[in-house]
Amino acid sequence: MKIYLDNSATTHIDPLVLEAMMPYLKEKYGNPSSFHNKGKEARDAVEKARKQVAGVLNCAPDEIIFTGGGTEANNLAIQGIVARINVDIKLIGAEFAKPHIITTKIEHPSILEVCKYLEKKELTVITCLDVDRYGLIDLRGLEKSLRPETILVSIIYANNEIGVIQDIKKISRIIKKYNNNILLHIDACQASGYLTLDVKKLGVDMMTINSSKIYGPKGVGALFVKKGVKIKPIMFGGHQEFGLRPGTENVAGIVGFAEAMLIAQKQKLKNQNLGKLRSYFIKELFKRIPKIRLNGHKTKRLSNNINISILDIEGEALILRLNEKGIYCSTGSACASGSLEPSYVIMALGVSYEAAHGSLRFTLGRETAKKEIDYVLKVLPKIVGDLRAISPVKIKKS
């Protein structure tokens, strides 16, 4: 039996998505920038996809910029705003405090690393907000962190590791009440198919989404940029995507992404119903395995996410043993899986270093069945027992 429970890392391509893509991998291969019928065929497909994605987000098509994935979209949002602000300051020749950005300690690396880079280059000042033991932002802390020089707040909508969902509407109200000119960007890569992406209801100025988390192709994403929000490109060499993302568009990928977005919307209720299976899984884990901890809020989390710390063993050893049994899950996030350091997201919850090392993430998918979960529940306790028997480390439950 092969059981895939790593759907927050990536999903397989939906057959309907692949079917939509195939013509643009074969006979409809034109360059969207070419002024002939083959080019127009490709351009029409890109613009149709843009309208489809815009329809899901409840925005105008020209507010959608296609990118090479969520990481690129996050970089474009953060660096694009900072570049524009610094150019504006130079143009008026005035002395201002450095632009201030607020984010959190549990963001995706494509937010945290770019923020560190910009601060190191002395282009910005960064405030990283703490979260509580459940992974939720302290909204009073956010309010206190806002300054006259704050230009941007970037918050992950649903965390990629612990699945915790932030109250974006409330966050938006706090920010806009302080200063309506402060921009709010959210990373919604994990939220697609589970939560509303209506940018008007959420009250966001920029939003990152991507394809590989919603049964679409890898290497495709988009950044919503609200009309009136000006950003600068971070790459150069072409006029594509309103001059903000140069390079020939990945037509087949964009078509597949749009199709995946439409299917995800139709599947939203079904995806939310995964919460029953998730709750069953969590309940049974606590029954069968002593000394474990649920990471993240019990209910304010994505319906497919289970992240637990199993004490007295390391997550990497668990992954390898589960892999031998045909069970595929992760420890920490996929983007940081090359590191043996414990997850900074789990550490931000106030969990001990040792407990964070034993974290395990299971993320259910559309096709996950109860019999698969029951198989994991049968196999996992014995693996935990075997590993604990040979572990030199014994720690108290945190």
The structure tokens 């602000």 sit at 85
What is the residue-averaged pLDDT of the chain? 93
More confident residue, 91 or 211: 211
User: Among 44-48, 84-88, 294-298, 347-351, whose mean pLDDT is lowest?
Assistant: 84-88
* Confidence (pLDDT) at 391: 75
User: Among 145-154, 219-228, 325-334, whose mean pLDDT is lowest?
Assistant: 325-334
Identify residue 154 by its one-letter amino acid code: S
**CB contact at 8 A, 218 and 10:** yes
User: Among 50-54, 65-69, 123-127, 335-339, whose mean pLDDT is lowest?
Assistant: 335-339
pLDDT mean over 380-394: 87
The DSSP bridge pattern shows strands 221-225 and 206-210 to be: antiparallel
* Confidence (pLDDT) at 356: 86
- Which helix (DSSP H) or strand (DSSP E) does residue 360 occupy? strand 359-363
* Confidence (pLDDT) at 51: 98
pLDDT confidence band for 355 (50 / 70 / 90): confident
The pLDDT tens digits of the residues spanning 249-280 come to 999 999 999 999 999 998 887 777 899 999 99
d(CA 82, CA 381): 49
Establish whether 128 is a catalytic residue. no
Of the residues 59, 128, 189, 335, only one is catalytic, namely: 335
CATH of domain 15-266: 3.40.640.10
* Confidence (pLDDT) at 70: 97
What tokens appear for 15 in the block?
């057959």
Q: Count how many residues are written for the chain.
A: 398
* Confidence (pLDDT) at 353: 85
The pLDDT tens digits of the residues spanning 291-338 come to 999 999 999 999 999 999 999 988 889 999 999 999 999 986 455 555
d(CA 207, CA 71): 12
What one-character-per-residue DSSP string does 163-198 give?
Answer: -BBP-HHHHHHHHHHH-TTSEEEEE-TTTTTTS---
* Confidence (pLDDT) at 341: 77
d(CA 187, CA 155): 6
Which sign, positive or negative, has the C-alpha torsion 271, 275, 276, 278? positive
What tokens appear for 382 in the block?
């014995």
Statement: residue 92 has pLDDT above 60: no
The DSSP bridge pattern shows strands 292-294 and 305-310 to be: antiparallel
pLDDT mean over 358-372: 95
State the span(s) of the chain assigned CATH 3.40.640.10. 15-266
The pLDDT tens digits of the residues spanning 168-202 come to 999 999 999 999 999 999 999 999 989 999 999 99
What tokens appear for 271 in the block?
């995806």
Statement: residue 37 has pLDDT above 60: yes
* Confidence (pLDDT) at 96: 61
User: Among 51-65, 299-313, 332-346, whose mean pLDDT is lowest?
Assistant: 332-346
Statement: residue 91 has pLDDT above 50: no
Identify residue 113 by its one-letter amino acid code: E
* Confidence (pLDDT) at 90: 54
pLDDT mean over 149-172: 97
User: Among 32-46, 89-103, 248-262, 315-329, whose mean pLDDT is lowest?
Assistant: 89-103
Torsion of the alpha carbons at 81, 108, 57 and 243, rounded to the nearest 10: 40
pLDDT confidence band for 247 (50 / 70 / 90): very high
Statement: residue 394 has pLDDT above 80: no
Q: Cβ-count burial of 378 within 10 angstroms (0-12 exposed, 13-18 middle, 19+ buried)?
A: exposed
CATH of domain 3-10+270-389: 3.90.1150.10
pLDDT mean over 202-223: 98
State the span(s) of the chain assigned CATH 3.90.1150.10. 3-10+270-389
**CB contact at 8 A, 153 and 139:** no
